[in-house]
Amino acid sequence: MLVGRTAKLAGLAGRILPAARVCRFHSPTKVASAAFLGQQRRPFSAAAVRGVAVSGLRTGLRTSWTPVSHQVRAAAAVAAPAPEKEKYEARSVAGFKLVRNEFVAEYDSQVLTYQHEKTGCKVMSLVNSDENKCFGVVLRTPVENSKGIPHILEHSVLCGSEKYPIKEPFVELMKGSLNTFLNAFTYPDRTCYPVASCNLQDFYNLVDVYMDAVFFPNCVRDPQTFAQEGWHLELEKPEDPLIYKGVVFNEMKGVYSQPDSMNGTITQQALFPANSYAVDSGGNPAIIPDLTFEEFQDFHARYYHPSNARIWFYGDDDPEERLRILSAYLDKFDARQVDSHVEKQPLFTEPKRIRETYAAGEDAGEDAGKAFVSVNWVLSEEPLELETELALDFLDYLLVGTSAAPLRKRLSDSELGEAMVGGGLQGDLRQPVFSVGLKGVDPDNFQKVEDLIQTTLEELAKTGFSQSSIEAALNTTEFHLRENNTGRFPRGLSLMLRAMGNWIYDKDPYEALQWTKALDDFKARLASGKDVFGPLIEKYLLKNTHKVTVELLPDSKLASEQDAVEKERLAKAKADMTPEQIQAVIKETEALKLRQETPDSPEALKCIPGLALSDIPKEASSIPTDIATEQAVQLLRHDLFTNDVLYLELALDLRPLPPHLLPLLPLFCRALTQMGTKKESETELIERIGRKTGGLSVYPFTSSVKDSPDPVAFLMVRGKSMADKAGDLMDLYHDVLLTARFDKKDRFKQMVLETKSRLESGIVGSGHSFAATRLDAQRSVAGWINEQTGGLSYLQSIRQLVQRVDSDWDSVQADLEAIRTALLQKRGAIVNMTGDEKALTAAAPHISNFLSALPAEAAARADWSGGLPSINEALTVPTQVNYVGKAANLYEDAGFQLTGSSYVVNKVLGTTWLWDRIRVVGGAYGGFSDFDTHSGMYTYLSYRDPNLLKTVEEYDGTPDFLRTVDLDKDALTKAIIGTIGDIDSYQLPDAKGYTAFMRHLLNVTDAERQQRREEILGTTVKDFRDFAEVLECVKGPKARVVAVTSAERASAVNDKERPGFFDSITKVL
């Protein structure tokens, strides 16, 4: 996973998940399928990747170990409270010297710091009662060029090691385990290898595989791994053109096709010309082919040493066993001086301005003249004190943290651009950065944007912020700190990333975890009346000469020029080769493909440990759910310990909504909370949400339902608050739904422009998602609705809406009111609550009052019978890669009757055939399949793929693979366990309540879940053969292809490679 400069400050508001580019690709699961067996939608993120475990791998396992657990505090993890235990008496052990031992109340953890006496390796070990155990190795890996060495190495070390000498232990870990996280991150200056699991033996196995991979990888002795993951020349016949292949090479081609990514990269390099941030650790695809295998080897030898490592443990496992596991590896090394220090960037003495270009589509109309402009600062040359970091984090929230924040609002309301860029404060590098600007800007307005930023900051430095906005910032920050809700990302890993933000730069890692005193001191400063924020704005922004204005203009010729340069380079390389050298490249291509296509033997795979089926619970877990009815509204209650937080969802039936209003629905949802109410301005409403709650969101939800022609469709209002603020939360539900204003034309237009910008950026970077939505829309009503509210059709509607807001605002406003009239009714409404009995009881009267205010009239259901034509489509954008989807409906086209074994088959396909053919051999960043068990849609998808028709051919080869796949008992067991691991994924209490809600909406009973579980556990090889026949329909006449690709590639397919393959070629950008 490549972590970019755009990562938010890890700091103190809980924003600890970096904006990342996934590199170890996995299969995202749709909400419909996921909720069927038990989990929420698995987002397209590394947190979903799974792994492998074994029982009894290590001897001397102390099963009698009891974790430390102190009284549950407000800041502790939201989990079932544990009884008081004795504090662990820390001591030096297994060659590790205990350096520091403190109890960190914020996370109810005893935090131990050790140093390995032989190598100097530093270890931070958190002991607590969290069953979701976490581990990570972090190495400082500064770079000198943009050849992508750390990124390629991050991919490669997980492709076999001394103890696990198979092709890809990482994939074997993905296939069959109970882990909750398995991936790796490449930052601009460090590389992280984290894992997590709730199963103790599984956890130890993952640690063992990762330790061996990091310190003893086979890739440093294997040029073929370097060629596969990094780059290589490919040639099959002497007369063919020479081409570049490689997973990272194609990944970065996708990254460099995205204007937003390019803006971030260019900005970082402009701000830090004197240190390693001046180059791209992920790799520039124009430079990656300059990397040699010898440089690759040297980088590992230089930095992948325990003396340069920081190791993290977290959870309820035995802290001494952790050290014993580490010592088995670290004792093999001696201490060594490793110069991995990240040099500081000296601050500029005067501001700078740079102008660059990005690849845009040809003849893109008015938008071709749109550009990016941002103002960016490096805030400090030396490390900041914790109190200053905290103050800057609050300042960031006040300036740009919400749509009502003054700097963000001024930019949005200026009509100078379409959407804000920059992200505000960035604290994940050695020196903090503040960036802000706009995209979709006419180049003639660059100076106006810069002037607006300057004058707004000058005004705020003098007048300050309202007391209401400060209270909202304080409550929002403190709520999220105390809730400590990291979603599907393990809490222990979020703390690791937070601590590493200090530790990696030789600052105190404890500071990042112990925020209570700093927060109390900061609140006291605010209460004293002292001007806290004005001096910060003056010092770090207005009077800061380390300022760079970045102007990024579209260039419609750049993509073709880059492509021509690459082809010319390859043609020259081939022309300079002798016939013997050409034959050598052909032989190397053949040898690499032979290796890629030759599976590891069953005997070799036994080196990867695995659990037994007897270790897997036979019974499906259930979530406590009480169902009642009040005022004709269904109430669901989930009595779970949530540390006094109430989580509440309100679902309003969407079916009365006329279909022509569907494209306006997402903006209606946003308008409810961002345009004010009858009694409050937009700013006042947003600040009230911040002061009184932990957040409130509104969004549409639509899904097919198995065995039903009608979809479920709801407007979801989702919020959370402390239990004693339940009344305030329900007052907000009332006000945003019943009294929201829709009369602010300028504000609404800006939201339309921001949506347009987001969608246009999304289709370039996440084309697979648009392709999948488009395919779904051809076959189901739910798919068509999701296309109208989030796919290409939605983008097309949004583009029309931009003009309509200007030419016919009254009709737009009338449509918004019509949506509210259609949806605000008690009939079909459902309330879902998660909390402990005290919180649920406290909320009851406020919910009753709210329901009394909902209209009782029942509107008739609208006719939703739309759909897209069933055709092969190419959607063209300026890109160097492809996103290829192919789908059919297994229920309708093959008469398939759902069984749990289909989940196991799909799991295997994603980690064998599709992984090997699309990613390993094909060079794509990822390839996978998705089965929506509610609609019956089975979809193949690829991501950042250099191929198009070749990928479709690989999809079509899937049935033959299933007919011949050789699965011995161990491989089948691993696949079954991995599937169970997916459906039994770890969830925090709020996620459990929401999952139960999804099951209720989708008619998924515990009895049916148990049936599917038993079918999964009973899967046989015959089920794979049977499913092969089912998947024939996805290569048959009813199957369709949608690809997001370049105009040149689409034309080449239709004109030369397979004439008429695409029924339609639509230019998007």
Handedness of CA 998, 1000, 1003, 1008 (dihedral sign): positive
- 1059, with CB counted inside 10 A (0-12, 13-18, 19+), is exposed
- Fill in the DSSP letter of residue 509: G
Helix (H) or strand (E) holding 592: helix 579-597
Helix (H) or strand (E) holding 143: none
Residue 1008 backbone dihedrals phi, psi, to 5 degrees: -70, -40
- What own/partner pairs with CB < 8 Å and gap ≥ 24 does 687-691 have? 687/404, 687/466, 687/468, 687/469, 687/471, 687/472, 688/468, 688/472, 688/732, 689/472, 689/732, 690/402, 690/469, 690/471, 690/472, 690/473, 690/475, 690/476, 691/468, 691/471, 691/472, 691/475
User: For residue 2, which amino acid is it?
Assistant: L
Identify whether the C-beta of residue 915 lies closer than 8 Å to the C-beta of residue 925: no
Structure tokens at 599: 């599976």
End-to-end CA distance of the chain: 27
385 tagged catalytic: no
154 tagged catalytic: yes
Residues 6+ apart with CB under 8 A from 767: 875, 877, 879, 882, 883, 1044, 1045
Handedness of CA 885, 891, 892, 893 (dihedral sign): positive
Handedness of CA 472, 478, 482, 485 (dihedral sign): positive
Closest by Cα among 98, 106, 96, 54 to 76: 106
- How wide is the angle at C-alpha 182 spanned by C-alphas 178 and 188, nearest 5°? 170
Residues 229, 551, 649, 787: which is the catalytic one? 229
Please state, in angstroms and as integers, the Cα–Cα distance from residue 1019 to each residue in 828, 895, 965, 1012, 1022, following that order. 39, 20, 15, 10, 8
Identify whether the C-beta of residue 1030 lies closer than 8 Å to the C-beta of residue 863: no
Q: Please list the alpha-helical segments (H only) found in 791-836.
A: 792-807, 809-823
Report how far residue 262's alpha carbon sits from residue 393's, in angstroms, rounded to the nearest whole number: 25
Identify whether the C-beta of residue 906 lies closer than 8 Å to the C-beta of residue 982: no
Report how far residue 495's alpha carbon sits from residue 132's, in angstroms, rounded to the nearest whole number: 13
Residues 106, 131, 154, 418: which is the catalytic one? 154
Helix, coil or strand: residue 690: helix
Helix, coil or strand: residue 172: helix
Identify whether the C-beta of residue 341 lies closer than 8 Å to the C-beta of residue 367: no
Identify whether the C-beta of residue 693 lies closer than 8 Å to the C-beta of residue 725: yes
| 575: number of Cβ within 10 Å | 8
Structure tokens at 994: 């929401």
Report how far residue 973's alpha carbon sits from residue 613's, in angstroms, rounded to the nearest whole number: 7
Report how far residue 254's alpha carbon sits from residue 189's, in angstroms, rounded to the nearest whole number: 22
| Rg (the chain; Cα; Å) | 28
Buried b (16+ CB within 10 A) or exposed e, 936-975: bbbbbbbbbbbbbbbbbebbbebbebbeebebeeebbbbb
Residues known to be catalytic: 154, 229
